[in-house]
Amino acid sequence: MSAAPTGAALERKGTLQLSLAMVLSGTIGVFVVESGAAPFNVVFFRCVFGAVALGLYCLARGFFRDHGFTRHKVLLTCLGGVFIVFNWVLLFESYRSTSISVATVVYHTQPFYVVLLGALFFRDKLTVSKFAWLAVAFGGLVLVAGVSPADLVGGGSYLLGLGEALLAALFYALSTIFTKRVTGVRPHLVALMQVLVGIPLLLPFTRLAETAGLGAGWAWLVGLGVIHTCVMYALMYSSYQKLPTSKIAVLAFIYPAVAMFCDWAVYGHRVSLLQALGIPLIAAATLGINLGWRFGPSRPAAPVPAATPLAPVVTPVATPVLTPVAPVAVQAAGPVPALPSRSTT
C-alpha cells in the first residue's frame, strides 16, 4: 500500500502541471496562424472540437453526477461564455494585425481590468499601491505597443490590432468576473458549457464555405480543441488545487514567454529593444497586483510603549462555571471551486 503524497510532492506535481499548461498556451498563436482559417472559423471549430473532448473527459471522470448547476449559475456561466468566445475572436484577429508576441503581451494586461471592474461594479477597494501598479503597467503597455508615426497611416491596421488585443483582455476580465461567481461547480463543466454556448453564438459569423480548402489546417483546428481546450484546461484546473496563489502568478508568465519564443522561432518576429523594456514593467505590475505587493518602501512600525507594571490584585476564588462550547463547523469537501483569475487564452 503506497503512502499518500506529501504537501511538497503535491506542489511539485502542480508546478509541473501548470508549467506544461502554460507552455501549451504559448503555442496557441502558431496553431491559429497555421490553420489558415479566419478567426471566427477558428473559434467556432475550437468550440466544436473542445466541446467533444471536454464532454468525453467529464463523462469519463463522472463529473456530470452532482454537477451543482442551478438556474442562476447556468446564467452566469453562459454570460461568461459569451465574453470568453468573443475574447478569443478578438485576440486571434489581433495576431493578424500586429504579431503573436505583441498581441500576447498586450493581452496579458487582463488582471488590471479585473481589478478595475471589481472596483467599478463590486466596490472592491482600490489602494494606493494598486493605482501605482496600474500606472507601471500602463507605462509598460505604451513601450510594448511601440507605436510609430508610420503606424498612424496606411489604414492604421497595427493600431486596430492593439485595440483588438486590449478589448480581448477586457472581455476576458468580464468573463472572469462572471465565472468567479459560479461556485460549487467543477470548472471543467463550466468550461464545457461555455464552449457549448459558443457554437450557436458564433455560427452566424462562421463562413463554413471557406473551410473546404483548409486541408492540413483541420489538424491545427482539432489541436486547438483537444490540446488547448481540453488537455490544457484539465492540467490547469488540477494544478490550481495544489499550488499557492503566489506560485500560480509567477508560473503564468511562462505563457507570454513561450508565445514570444514561438513567434520568433517560427515566423522570425522579434520585439524591439524599446518594446522589450516594457515587458518587465507589465510583469512586475501583474505580480504586484496578484500578490498584493506594497508599492514603495514599507512604513516603519510604530514603537510599542513599555508596559507599566501593575500592582497585584487579589480576588476571591470563585467556583468555576462550565459553559458548553459550540461545535466547530467543518465544511465537507465539495466540488472543485470555480477557476481563479488567470492569464491565459
Q: What sign has the CA pseudo-torsion 63, 68, 72, 73?
A: negative
Within 8 A by CB and 6+ apart from 241, the residues are 14, 336
pLDDT of res. 226: 97
Alpha carbons 337 and 185: distance in angstroms, whole number: 6
Digit-coded pLDDT (tens) for 88-144? 999 999 999 999 999 999 998 888 888 888 888 777 777 888 888 888 888 888 888
Q: Please report, rounded to a whole number, the percentage of residues in the chain having pLDDT higher than 70.
A: 82
Question: What CA–CA distance (Å, rounded) separates 136 from 142?
Answer: 10
The pLDDT-based confidence of 326 (bands split at 50, 70, 90) is: very low
The pLDDT, as a whole number, for residue 131 is: 84
Residue 154, pLDDT score:
57
Q: What is the pLDDT of residues 263-318, one digit of tens each?
A: 999 999 988 888 889 989 988 888 888 888 887 665 555 555 555 454 444 444 33
pLDDT at 341: 44
Confidence of residue 344 (pLDDT cuts 50, 70, 90): low
**For every residue of 242-278, which 3-state class applies, written as one string?**
CCCHHHHHHHCCHHHHHHHHHHHHHHCCCCCHHHHHH
Report residue 235 as a C-alpha cell.
492540467
> What is the mean predicted confidence (pLDDT) over 319-327?
34
Give the model's confidence band at 323: pLDDT under 50 very low, under 70 low, under 90 confident, else very high.
very low
Q: What is the pLDDT of residues 159-207, one digit of tens each?
A: 899 999 999 999 999 998 898 889 899 999 999 999 999 999 999 999 9
Mean pLDDT of 5-20: 88
31-89: per-residue pLDDT in tens?
A: 999 999 999 999 999 999 999 999 999 999 999 998 889 999 999 999 999 999 999 99
pLDDT(225) > 70: yes
- Answer whether residue 319 shows pLDDT above 80: no
Scored b (16 or more CB within 10 A) or e, 252-264 reads bbbbbbbbbebbe
What is the model's pLDDT at position 296?
A: 66
Number of H helices, E strands in the chain: 14, 0
**Amino acid identity, residue 272?**
S
Above 90 in pLDDT, residue 18?
yes
pTM, entire model = 0.81
